[in-house]
Structure 1
Amino acid sequence: MSKGTLFDKVWDLHTVGILPSGQTQLFIGLHLIHEVTSPQAFAMLKERGLAVMFPERTVATVDHIVPTEDQSRPFADGMAEAMMQELEKNTQAHGIRFYNVGSGSQGIVHVIAPEQGLTQPGMTIACGDSHTSTHGAFGAIAFGIGTSQVRDVLASQTLALAKLKVRKIEVNGTLQPGVYAKDVILHIIRTLGVKGGVGYAYEFAGTTFEQMGMEERMTVCNMSIEGGARCGYVNPDQVTYEYLQGCDFAPNGEAWDSAIAWWNNLRSDANAVYDDVIVFDAASIAPTVTWGITPGQGIGIDEPVPTADIIPEEERAIAEEAYQYMNLEPGHSIQGTKVDVCFVGSCTNGRISDLREAANFAQGRHVAKGVKAFIVPGSERVKKQAEAEGLDQIFLSAGFEWREAGCSMCLAMNPDKLEGRQLSASSSNRNFKGRQGSSSGRTLLMSPAMVVAAAVTGQVTDVRELI
């Protein structure tokens, strides 16, 4: 009887061979590209006189450098315009599907592929972006890769990778009101550490994940990489199939029934053997916010900023660095900390369900004086859907700015940047020094609902007080 995990099954099905290095040559079913990590890869192909082997297996969009206010061409930023032109030229030259601005389907790469049904269970997926782990929510094995690996996939549709161990992370129970998928993954990372997942794939299991919608599962898998895991996934189930059915690239008719039978076979076996198993209780998770300069430096909103004496010795140096950089007082509550900028968006939390929940807390309230708050849909389709539901009007009435689709202030490779020592409440995925565009800017990661709570009160606030 099989004792395999989904990871093992998908890995084995896509193994081309074992290389002399001991690594596996893995076939990649779907390759996603964008404007930042692809130009050099295409240049390498040209230098070697190589073509793209399977252009129909590569899909492109533009997201990192796209302005979310004025999108008229040429872009005001000359480098951004050059990247845009390079992607347009390369996709046309190699016959690659490209979702450009204004196509109706442009957006953050990890938003557009799932919403169109390009991402499916049992796939191997690669993209030159850290947060490719997002696609694991569908029961896919998805890897963020570097530029030279982008070249390899374009040229051969394969990657050389060492096989990972598999850790099962089980969360059981019902989340408290005001606690979301973002809080769950921040809690896991804070507990296991930013290096805890090195060498592992994370399988997210248990009743809590079973109760989550697909977009919540995407949020969790998105941040697997922040916990050191190379990828994270959830076994496909009826929730997955209901999300995919009717999507542009999903199977249909008889092929749909065959696909479901196949996908069900890929699920981890009931007696699957794992390298490690860790169990969490959903009821113990509170709204969570980062206080430091790594996603692992997080606390429940009702906890004080930790003092050095309760931090493991090997983490104290970076904690001291965080105290100084963030200007937060150890032992004191983070609640009441004044915020300057509030951002809802990114590949972590820029989907329609995120915007709906944010709108629930924005309705009937107003952004506090002196706070800049803005909402950035993850794709043109998300923006259109939100506007059809009137969410844009709720946000505008509450004093939020309503933007075009893009990565925006998640990483600030576009005009959306922090200034000076501004402190940001952000629904994105990284709080590294300078991450949001200012070398001294500060970032607190939290759920979209918590970002809205901060925006309307002007300070870090427990969203449960607004329920």
Structure 2
Amino acid sequence: MAEPRTLFAKLWDQHRVADLPGGAALIAIDRIFLHERTGAAALGGLKAAGRSVADPARVFCVMDHIVDTRPGRDDRTLMPGGQAFITETRAAAREAGLTLFDVTDPDQGIVHVVSPELGIVLPGATLVAPDSHTCTQGALGALAWGIGSSEAEHAMATGTLRVATPRTMRVTYTGKLGRGVTPKDMILALIARHEAGGGKGHVVEFAGEAVTALDMEGRMTLCNMATEFAAMTGVIAPDEATFDYLAGRRYAPRGAAWDRAVAHWRTLATDPGASFDAELEIDAAALEPMVSWGTSPEHSVAISGAVPGDAGDRPLAYMGLRPGEALAGLPIDAAFIGSCTNSRLSDLRRAAALLTGRRVAPGVKALCVPGSSAVKRAAEAEGLDKVFTEAGFEWRESGCSMCFYAGGESFPAGSRVVSSTNRNFEGRQGPGIRTHVASPETVVASAIAGRIADPRAIGEGADA
């Protein structure tokens, strides 16, 4: 009788080309994504070495990191030298014969949003990109992780990568989420409880009743921040929700090939009795909306809580806070909805439901940046853009804008921002910016109140 195996073991074994010394393996890579911040460098390095892309059909390139999100944008950027990143990546991608989602392409968007919505990532696949949040795509039962530019060169040239064999961890969320509690709160609670290095060296499988109850976009939010837990990646076993989500998408199999694929995908689950190197359990029913207070996602507490009494001096000084200070009620300068964590259509729908008939507080700068051009079009077709703009939000083009600072657009120095992004490091959203990471619902509630606020305190629509 075969020994029970984890989902990770199945994915690893199906892609292992050879075992290597030192506990590593040569792993076959099915999909590679590039973006304009590092794409030209990777393709240029490959060309300089006299090598070419082994299989251009497996490599995709998108403009998302540096591209401006202001209406009417083109190649010009606020980032000094940013236009060169775009034009050079475009030229290199075209020369290499890659599929390119350019600045004005209707399929342009953040790589981790575009790939699932087009069905480029599929259950059982390996996918890499020079971006740490590639782990987002593990939500579809894929083995997806971030790499460096030199690794991207190797993957493009050979279709393989040398990878140290990771350990395994299962995080089980028991029970059901309460009203106003989201996947963002689930992952922030995990990181706050077990620290930012808690998943180091592991592939983390998310499981349990609260996970299987999530829609696919919620699962992507959960896996997105596995990297903030220091994990190699996060993964969730594919199920009927996964298959329904992928059916009919452009790069998904069709006809008899679809039937064969689904039959295989159904085998991609951890066997009963399989063992993990580590197991964690969280009661989802006990969770509250979370908000960060410091300069790491592990510096997060329930919104009803306060800055810990033992908080370090440096994060407190940067954030302008004191031990024991309550988070709820803290005045804010700006509110941001966007990033590869929380910029999908379901995120915008939930945020708009709370915004309907309400206004952003005076003095608060509020922005909404859809995760892809397809998300933006769908939101506009539903009238969500009008809800945001009538409430006082700026409505932008899609991209990574304001999630990370690369010398381009930022909030005024010293601004306190409630943000649906994934990171709150010093300077992450600009020099001196004080970022409080939270769910889109908490961002909206705070924008309306002009201070950090609990989304459970308001209903949907002004008359609710």
Say yes or no: TM over 0.5: yes
Q: 2: CA distance between counterparts of 1:22 and 1:241?
A: 34
Residue identity matched to 2:362: K
Residue identity matched to 2:342: N
Name the counterpart of 1:19.
20
Residue identity matched to 1:114: P
Instruction: Give deviations 1:321-360, integer Å, cap 9, x for gaps.
Output: 1111111121121111111111001000010000000101
Q: 2: CA distance between counterparts of 1:243 and 1:2?
A: 31
Q: How do residues 18-417 of structure 1 correspond to structure 2 at under 5 angstroms?
A: 18-69=19-70, 70-75=72-77, 77-308=79-310, 319-413=312-406, 415-417=408-410
Task: Judge which range, 411-420 or 50-59, deviates more.
Answer: 411-420
Name the counterpart of 1:461.
453
Instruction: Give deviations 1:205-258, integer Å, cap 9, x for gaps.
Output: 000001000000000000000011110010000010110011111111111111
Instruction: Give deviations 1:268-322, integer Å, cap 9, x for gaps.
Output: 11221111111111111100000000000100001111101xxxxxxx6xx2211
Change (3 A) 1:402 1:274: same
Give the gaps of 5 or more residues in structure 1.
309-315
Report how far residue 77 of structure 1 moved: 4.3
> SS state of the match for residue 359, structure 1?
helix
Instruction: Give deviations 1:40-69, integer Å, cap 9, x for gaps.
Output: 222221221000111111111010101111
Name the counterpart of 1:446.
438
Q: Do the aligned residues in 1 keep the contact of 2:405 with 2:427 (CA within 8 Å)?
A: no
Q: Do the aligned residues in 2 keep the contact of 1:136 with 1:221 (CA within 8 Å)?
A: yes
Residue identity matched to 1:48: A
How many residues are paired up? Answer: 457
Which residue of 429, 440, 448 corresponds with 1:436?
429
Q: Do the aligned residues in 1 keep the contact of 2:332 with 2:416 (CA within 8 Å)?
A: yes
Change (3 A) 1:208 1:83: same
Q: 2: CA distance between counterparts of 1:248 and 1:68?
A: 25
Residue identity matched to 2:207: A
Change (3 A) 1:224 1:380: same
Report how far residue 78 of structure 1 moved: 5.0
Task: Judge which range, 194-203 or 36-45, deviates more.
Answer: 36-45
Q: 1: CA distance between counterparts of 2:455 and 2:75?
A: 40
> SS state of the match for residue 329, structure 2?
coil
Report how far residue 267 of structure 1 moved: 1.3
Residue identity matched to 1:60: C
Give the gaps of 5 or more residues in structure 2.
460-464
Q: 2: CA distance between counterparts of 1:346 and 1:372?
A: 17
Instruction: Give deviations 1:148-178, integer Å, cap 9, x for gaps.
Output: 1111111111111111111110001111111
Name the TM-score, length of structure 2 as normaliser.
0.97
Q: Do the aligned residues in 2 keep the contact of 1:32 with 1:126 (CA within 8 Å)?
A: yes
Relative to total residues, which structure has the larger helix share, 1 or 2? 1
Residue identity matched to 2:435: T
Q: 1: CA distance between counterparts of 2:151 and 2:297?
A: 26
RMSD over aligned CA atoms reads 1.2
